Amino acid sequence: MRFLSGAGIDWYQVSRGLAALKTPEDRLKKLRELVAKVPDDPAGQALLIEILLECDKIEEAQAIAARMRRDELAGPLVIGTLCDLQAELGQENEAKRTCSELVEFNAADPSARERLGDLFLRHGWYEAAYRQYRTLTAMRPDDPTAQIRLAAAAAGMGRVDEALRIERKVASGDGEPGPADPRRWARLHSAVRIALMIMEAKTKGAAEEIEALERTLKIAYEFDVPMNLVVLTWEDFDARLGIRAKKGDATFEVSDRTDAPDAGIAMIDLGRTKPAGVTMTVELGTTPLRRGVPFSLISIAWDGKSFTFGERKGKIEPRSGKVSLGE
């Protein structure tokens, strides 16, 4: 296998070659040999950080990332990795400062604002995420996913009414009907938020509030025929989650499906009547991540006369690709 390319090293080919080795330790040993030939190559150091984390050598990975940051050699991926590591170690303020370097020299780059907002959001730093998404929506006023991100941050801050207003704006905008329609994504997010409000109101026995919220829910998602929705939401936009339904060993054919990882939402409709014996699995559509990915699974059933709701919280564990939830 040739790794050398001209005077340097083709790190893309290195990465592909390393993937063929049996264990993370084998990959790290081979990579160290290559990095020693060009110790100042940022791409090699970035790959080394990745493999070190795969081997659970957290301190060494953090030290290399911090050194690259100090020497102004760290790209967005290394900055994001260092931010995650610092947050994992409870160094919240330092992690926020590290993350913010993504826009320090790229203030006019909307993709940098989006990346920074996404890092803040997945760590639950909603106010910081909200500020970045506000700037992002000013830069991309016609981008519905930017608006959906802003709504997620607003809801995380407890400003659910604002989140619903933002989602109504997206839902009334332009789009082509179908599962890839951002208007549908916004309506689904709103349906989940209202369903959660109804469930909370039921714990208080607030009958009038429940009735008003159910009317709002019917309008928000157009519940005009019986349906049994299962909606998955998550706040880590780098994780591409989805729902799979099975009955026994066979895939269950759903009535409708939406997969919108860029909006942090997925949905399946189990049909007019809730089927028995159908089990749910939440799957990660990328290679397993070092970090866990929390999610919520909300069921909204409308039988033509009344609603029933349910909520389950879960997490895809680090280095896992899926979690089975049963019926």
Q: In this structure, is residue 72 part of a structural domain?
A: no
- Angle, helices 126-139 vs 110-122, to 10°: value is 160
8 is a domain residue: no
**What was the pLDDT predicted at 310?**
95
284 in a structural domain = yes
Query: Which pTM value belongs to this model?
Result: 0.89
Buried-state track 105-126, b at ≥16 Cβ within 10 A, e below 16: eeeeebebbbbbbbbbbbbebb
Residue 252 lies in a domain: yes
d(CA 29, CA 24): 9
- 211 token code pair: 């009735």
Does 203 map to a domain? no
- Is 100 exposed, middle or buried (CB count within 10 Å of its CB: 0-12, 13-18, 19+)? middle
**pLDDT number for residue 6:** 37
State how far the Cα of 263 lies from the Cα of 190, in Å rounded to an integer. Answer: 12
Helices (H) and strands (E) in the chain, counts: 12, 11
pLDDT at residue 258 in the model = 95
Tell the residue number behind the tokens 């930017």, with chain if given.
146
Which range marks the domain in which residue 273 is found?
Answer: 225-326
User: Does 289 reside within a domain?
Assistant: yes
Distance CA 224, CA 309 (A): 17
Q: How many domains does the chain have?
A: 1
Provide the pLDDT for residue 158. 97
Please list the pLDDT of the chain residue by residue as tens digits (327 residues).
334 443 478 888 898 899 899 899 999 999 999 999 888 899 999 999 999 998 989 999 999 999 999 998 889 999 999 999 999 989 999 999 999 999 988 889 999 999 999 999 999 999 999 999 999 999 999 999 999 999 999 999 999 999 999 999 999 988 788 778 999 999 999 999 999 999 999 999 999 999 999 999 999 998 989 999 999 999 999 999 999 999 988 999 999 999 999 999 999 999 998 888 999 999 999 888 989 999 999 999 999 999 999 999 999 999 899 999 877
pLDDT at residue number 1: 33
90 domain-assigned: no
Task: State residue 283's pLDDT score.
Answer: 95
Q: How far apart are CA 190 and CA 136, in angstroms?
A: 21
Residue 305 lies in a domain: yes
